[in-house]
Amino acid sequence: MRIRMCGCLLGLLCVGIPLRAQQTPEQVTAALKVQEGDYVAHDFHFKSGETMAEVRLHYRTLGTPRKDATGHTTNAVLILHGTGGNGATFLRPIFGGALFGPGELLDASRYFIILPDDIGHGKSSKPSDGMHAHFPQYDYDDMVAAEHELVQNGLGVDHLRLEMGTSMGCMHSWVWAEAYSSYLDALMPLACLPVEIAGRNRMWRKLAIDGIRNDPEWKGGEYTTEPRAALEMASAMLLIAGSAPIQMQKTAPTRDAADRYLETYMSDNEKTLDANDFLYAVSASRNYDPSPELDKITIPVMWVNSADDFINPPEMGIAERAVKRLMKGHFVLLPASDHTYGHGTHTHAAEWQQYLKQLLDESAH
């Protein structure tokens, strides 16, 4: 077990992989020959007791799966997105542009990379497709079960060389390691804690949930136009939760600049958010708590958080205590700096890619 604090500049020097900031997500997608598809899970049973005859799971893949002499997949990498996101998040230059190209750590010519849209997100089945508040009340266990079905039954992958995730996907990583321990070679959770969501983390989520449900225009989830007050509450909570003080001060160094930033942010967010989808996505964390079984995780784990993360503040010491229970666990805390982005540091591969390299080396067969 190791706990580390490391400057971000060192991360850039150690690996030396260029960040292709000039590329657009579309250029990254084209260059890496991303494939998209849908898998339909039939007669899907949720923990709530609800069922759906068909659950659509959208996904993107890069590369080609490889099998060993016994037919087992050897090069699959599953990467899981955060709340409100989708698999396309990882095709941005700051992530896919830094990791998936030729000669890079997760070179798509060597690895088979799987980027799903989770239940309730992206192009996968979600409340806004038509069921609204009658959509099953899914939780993280349901989402992970669906991910597993997609990987195993939909894509024919029986083993993962690596599973990694950001934010909500980070929390899913812990669920994966406990539910499907023999399925994984290595785990890289980015920006989360493997404990029950409580304290301030629960409070901001509850504020967002109640803000939607208490808006008369939500109409029990059967609105025909988006409830404005609900979306304003949701957008405000997202802004605070994802804030990075140093970056926000640089972006908005004056009162007027801050006001303009806020106006643009709220306007843009309200155009893309759906109240039911957001409500369900945030509520899905309600019973998350992998802490009782952390001792059972025996695979190598490289867990990275940043010190300026509002959602997972380091001063509580939770990570330092939890990592001691992992047989082969490393915890890295990136100090707040001009190179970190609060909770969003998880998507800036340049800040932690040296630790990904270490994990791949340590878990190599």
The closest alpha carbon to 126, from 235, 118, 115, 210, belongs to 118
Residue 16 has pLDDT above 60, yes or no: no
- Structural domains in the chain? 2-197+293-362 (3.40.50.1820), 200-282 (1.10.1740.110)
**What is the residue-wise DSSP string for 65-121?**
--B-TTS-B-SEEEEE--TT--GGGGGSTTTHHHHSSTTSTT-TTT-EEEEEPPTTS
Our measurement of the distance from residue 100's CA atom to the centroid of its chain's CA atoms, rounded to an integer in Å, reads 17
The closest alpha carbon to 155, from 106, 110, 114, 107, belongs to 114
| Average pLDDT of the residues in 9-15 | 29
Residue 7 has pLDDT above 70, yes or no: no
Residues with Cβ within 8 Å of 314's Cβ and at least 6 positions away in sequence, in order, are 305, 307, 333
Query: Per-residue confidence at 8, pLDDT binned at 50, 70, 90?
Result: very low
pLDDT tens, position by position, 62-104: 999 999 999 899 999 999 999 999 999 999 999 999 999 999 9
Can you give the pTM of this predicted structure?
0.92
pLDDT of residue 22: 56
Residue 28 has pLDDT above 90, yes or no: no
Percent of the chain with pLDDT over 90: 89
Hey, what amino acid is at 319? Answer: A
Our measurement of the distance from residue 195's CA atom to the centroid of its chain's CA atoms, rounded to an integer in Å, reads 16
| Average pLDDT of the residues in 38-55 | 98
pLDDT of residue 232: 93
Query: Per-residue confidence at 15, pLDDT binned at 50, 70, 90?
Result: very low
The three-class DSSP label of residue 298 is coil
Per mean pLDDT, which range of 120-124, 160-164, 175-179, 238-242 is the poorest?
Answer: 238-242
pLDDT of residue 33: 87
pLDDT of residue 2: 40
Place of tokens 């991910």: 147
The three-class DSSP label of residue 41 is strand
Residues with Cβ within 8 Å of 335's Cβ and at least 6 positions away in sequence, in order, are 5, 6, 7, 8, 306, 307
The closest alpha carbon to 235, from 278, 198, 286, belongs to 278
| Average pLDDT of the residues in 5-26 | 42
pLDDT of residue 23: 67
Residue 9 has pLDDT above 50, yes or no: no
Residue 129 has pLDDT above 90, yes or no: yes
Query: What is the average pLDDT value for the chain, to the nearest integer?
Result: 92
Per mean pLDDT, which range of 31-35, 71-75, 248-252 is the poorest?
Answer: 31-35
Q: Say if CB 114 and CB 152 are below 8 A apart.
A: no
Q: Say if CB 47 and CB 134 are below 8 A apart.
A: no
Residue 294 has pLDDT above 80, yes or no: yes
The closest alpha carbon to 161, from 116, 194, 114, belongs to 114
Query: Per-residue confidence at 270, pLDDT binned at 50, 70, 90?
Result: confident
pLDDT tens, position by position, 189-215: 999 999 999 999 999 999 999 999 999
